[in-house]
Each structure stands twice: as C-alpha cells, then as structure tokens.
Amino acid sequence: MAKIPITPKGYRDLQKKLRHLRKVERPKNIKDIEVARSHGDLSENAEYHAAKERQGIIVAQIADTEARLADADVIDPARLNLEKIAFGATVKMLDTESDEEKLYTIVGSTETDVSRGRISIESPIARSLIGRAAGDAVTVTTPRGAKEFEILEISYIELEA
C-alpha cells in the first residue's frame, strides 16, 4: 500500500482523534447501550438500536483512523529548505487578474482545510504548483476556469494548531 504524506501536526491530530474515539466515544457508547438495554424489550427499543448503530460508526472511525496512521508518511516541512514547491510548502501567490494575494499550504488529504489555506496535495492547485519556484507564473485549472498566478514566496514551516 502506498504511503500517504502528512505533516507532523496532521499525524498528531489523527493520534488525538484515535485516543478520543477509544477513551471517550467508545466507553460512552457502551454505557448508552447498557442504559438502553435496561429499558426492556430490545426489539422495539429505539435508544438501543441508535446506540448500536453509533457503535458501528465508532468502530468504523477507529479502523479508518488506524489505517490512516499506518499509511502515514510523516514529512516535516520545517526541516525542508527547498527553492521549489513540494509537499509541506507554504506558497504566497498573486492572482494576476484580481491582484489578490493568496496563501496556501500544501498538506495531506486528511489535513485539508480550505478556510485556513490548507490544500490537499491531490488538489488541482497543488498539482499545478509542485516543482515551481518563486517568480514562476502558473496557470491553474479550477472549476470556474483557468486562473493565472505568480508565485511570490515559498516557505517551509511547521503548521500550528
């Protein structure tokens, strides 16, 4: 199975999520099932069926998170000092049409948060940027059509919470 790139922060976040699922969500769900069982007839007990359904969701989330951790290839952007854009780069760009500056950090798919400027390495924008350097012009195909950007600055820093 191919390794999936992830930042150290993304890896820590997955570990935190797994701990929360195991130590908070699963025990709470077990108690919910016990309480629902104490109400009697299970065949018509909506609380019991909802708790059992939630149990299945929690088990699936635990398995998914464990798989993501197992497949993770942790790459620390703070240790990189590249002149070209690669995974973990924070890129300052200028939209040549609107003169608006954009700031994106290229992260793994589990860390994507467009509202915070974190884009997946698999996104069209990131794929267009990989291998480029400061000063390069790049055309990015977006759902709204092609956009032209000028790469102003590239840095490699550890992401904050």
**Residue spans per domain, the chain:** 4-74, 77-156
- pTM of structure: 0.74
Q: What is the pLDDT of residue 51?
A: 93
| Beta bridge partners of residue 140, listed in sequence order | 147
Digit-by-digit pLDDT tens for the chain (161 residues) are 678 899 888 999 999 999 999 999 999 999 999 998 888 777 778 889 999 999 999 999 999 999 999 999 898 877 776 788 988 899 999 999 899 999 999 998 888 998 999 999 989 899 999 999 999 999 988 778 888 999 999 988 766 65
Alpha-carbon gap, residue 93 to 100, rounded angstroms: 8
Fold that domain 77-156 belongs to in CATH: Chitinase A; domain 3 (3.10.50)
Alpha-carbon gap, residue 44 to 54, rounded angstroms: 17
Is the C-alpha dihedral spanning 111, 160, 6, 130 positive or negative?
Answer: positive
Q: What is the pLDDT of residue 159?
A: 62
Q: Per DSSP, which regions of the chain are E strands? A: 4-6, 72-74, 89-95, 100-107, 118-120, 137-142, 145-156
Fold that domain 4-74 belongs to in CATH: Helix Hairpins (1.10.287)
Q: Per DSSP, which regions of 31-88 are E strands? A: 72-74
- Using CB atoms within 10 A of its CB, is residue 115 exposed (0-12), middle (13-18) or buried (19+)? exposed
Whether the CB-CB separation of 72 and 3 falls below 8 Å is answered with: yes
